[in-house]
């Protein structure tokens, strides 16, 4: 399986659950009923809408370059209370049990980049049900993320339109989740530079995230630093 297969049809078919069970047979996977209940409970806590009707979804990793959900607006957004971290280990999608890859999560606190700047996608009010169902099929297949309503602001220097966008959905890291990890930078770099799984390489995930941020004029010192170090690690690796 490669990244291009991770699309709407693939998610709606339920095949992602089948793949995860194949990658990690011991992993607990949510049933359809459990996932629907999680989404319903989350929507019951929905704050009052902010800028624009509908719901904002905050993208800080692969959702930037593969959002998949239908949306009516896209813009840069910032949360000062969370920061990116390569803190989610993957032993199937972009790694193996012998050499796990890493994916991004959101951890509390501003970090050294003074929060996290990413992309907010606004889903039209009429499409909230089906589009969030699709998003939950992607991000809430198994324990690992905790969806939260986070305050989103317009980044400094961006087109004004309002100092705040209101609350948006962000998938934050579950520190009690089975894949959560807190690794030294050199370990993060080595794992991203070498890990590969059925959805592609961990390095591809990193570089596509970096490129997606650059295309929108978003500067993320953390992602840029890790990308430089991973690039150097890969260049220094012995050939086949």
Q: Is the dihedral of CA 75, 105, 92, 234 positive or negative?
A: positive
Query: Taking a C-beta distance cutoff of 8 angstroms, is the pair 216, 76 a contact?
Result: yes
Q: What is the pLDDT of residue 240?
A: 61
Return the DSSP state at 180: B
Q: Which residues pair with 104 in a beta bridge?
A: 86
Q: Which domains does the chain have, with CATH numbers?
A: 3-235 (3.10.490.10)
136-174: pLDDT as tens digits: 999 998 899 999 999 999 887 655 555 788 999 999 999
3, 19, 125, 139: the catalytic one is 139
Write down the H helix ranges in 24-82.
32-43, 62-65
Token pair in block for residue 118: 């990413």
End-to-end CA distance of the chain: 23
81-100: pLDDT as tens digits: 999 999 999 988 899 999 99
Q: Is the dihedral of CA 221, 209, 181, 194 positive or negative?
A: negative
Is pLDDT of 26 > 80?
no
Query: Taking a C-beta distance cutoff of 8 angstroms, is the pair 55, 170 a contact?
Result: no
Active site residue 224: no
Token pair in block for residue 74: 């896209």
What's the chain's average pLDDT? 90
The answer, as to whether pTM is greater than 0.85, is yes
Phi, psi of 83 (to 5 degrees): -140, 155
């Amino acid at each position: 399986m490669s990244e291009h297969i991770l699309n709407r049809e693939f998610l709606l078919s339920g095949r992602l659950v089948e793949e995860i069970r194949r990658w990690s047979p011991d992993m607990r996977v949510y049933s359809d009923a459990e996932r629907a209940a999680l989404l319903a409970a989350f929507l019951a806590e929905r704050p009052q809408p902010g800028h624009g009707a509908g719901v904002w979804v905050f993208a800080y990793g692969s959702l930037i370059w593969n959002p998949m959900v239908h949306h009516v607006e896209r813009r840069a957004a910032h949360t000062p209370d969370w920061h990116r971290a390569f803190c989610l280990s993957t032993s199937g999608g972009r790694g193996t049990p012998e050499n796990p890859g890493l994916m991004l999560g959101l951890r509390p606190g501003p970090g050294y980049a003074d929060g996290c700047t990413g992309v907010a996608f606004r889903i039209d009010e009429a499409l909230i049900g089906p589009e969030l169902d699709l998003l939950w099929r992607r991000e809430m297949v198994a324990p690992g993320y905790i969806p939260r309503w986070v305050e989103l602001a317009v980044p400094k220097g961006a087109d004004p339109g309002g100092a705040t966008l209101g609350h948006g959905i962000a998938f934050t890291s579950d520190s009690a989740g089975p894949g959560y990890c807190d690794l030294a930078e050199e370990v993060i770099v080595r794992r991203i530079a070498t890990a590969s799984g059925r959805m592609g390489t961990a390095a591809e995930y990193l570089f596509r995230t970096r490129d997606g941020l650059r295309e929108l004029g978003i500067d993320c010192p953390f992602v840029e630093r890790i990308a430089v170090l991973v690039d150097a690690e890969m260049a220094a690796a012995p050939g086949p």
